[in-house]
Amino acid sequence: MHATAIIDPSAEISADAEIGPYCIIGPGVTIGARTRLMAHVYLEGKLAIGEDNLFYPYSSCGVAPQDKKYKGEASETRIGNRNSIREFVTIHRGTGGGGMITSIGDGNLLMAYVHIAHDVTIHSNTILANGVTFAGHVIVEDYANIGGLSAIHQFCRIGRHAMVGSYSVIKQNVLPYSITASDHHVEVYGANRIGLERRGFGPEAIEALQNAFRILTRAGLNTTQALARIEEEVPQTDEVRELLDSIRNSKCGFIK
């Protein structure tokens, strides 16, 4: 612990953690082994941070949300293991209206200026590029990749292995395994083929997804018709079934 760090006596910090210059750690903060705060990091509880995380300068985590309904309830923030939190990232704790928890899983990369609002759930192995901004109550599933300066509306869900292009404004759910991006408006451009190949998906699984997306977005069918045709014509792999379930269970609609 650097001599210039200010640490509340009630904070629980592993002996293997590293606290750099000018960091401020408030009460109710727990930090796991080998987590490193480089410098000028601000942490406020109730906040639990796991092992092997790296916080870059001027990031802040666990502070009160920017939600006018928040009345000081004892909500919390949870961060897993092996996350990289880059410069000026802001992560706000949960609220009584959203489950009381903001959570981040394992192995995520949050690039500079990412904002994680109250009651957001980030699963694991995601990449959130510079300036990505989440409103409250968003869910981001495993291996999602969101391009820089994108804005995600509250209560939206970003599906597994989805790629969202830079500068996108997301107002509905993003389907798993999709490439979703904005040109003049946001739309699906097919399966995230390259990303899936890199993650070890075989050609049969990728081709089935590509055919499903083609029927869904290019066949001139409404959603009900498209789902029926996908079930009839496309091999029902685990990934295709997950895609269909995501569409059927989408409460706020999905980007097509």
Catalytic annotation, residues: 118-119, 136
SS3 of the chain: CCCCCEECCCCEECCCCEECCCCEECCCEEECCCCEECCCCEECCCEEECCCCEECCCCEEEECCCCCCCCCCCCEEEECCCCEECCCCEEECCCHHHCCEEEECCCCEECCCCEECCCCEECCCCEECCCCEECCCCEECCCCEECCCCEECCCCEECCCCEECCCCEECCEECCCEEEEECCCEEEEEECHHHHHHCCCCHHHHHHHHHHHHHHHHCCCCHHHHHHHHHHHCCCCHHHHHHHHHHHCCCCCECC
| Residue showing tokens 């979703």 | 180
Task: Say if residue 46 is preceded by a cis peptide, omega within 30 of 0.
Answer: yes
Rounded Cα gap, residues 240 and 208, in angstroms: 7
Q: Which amino acid is at 236?
A: Q
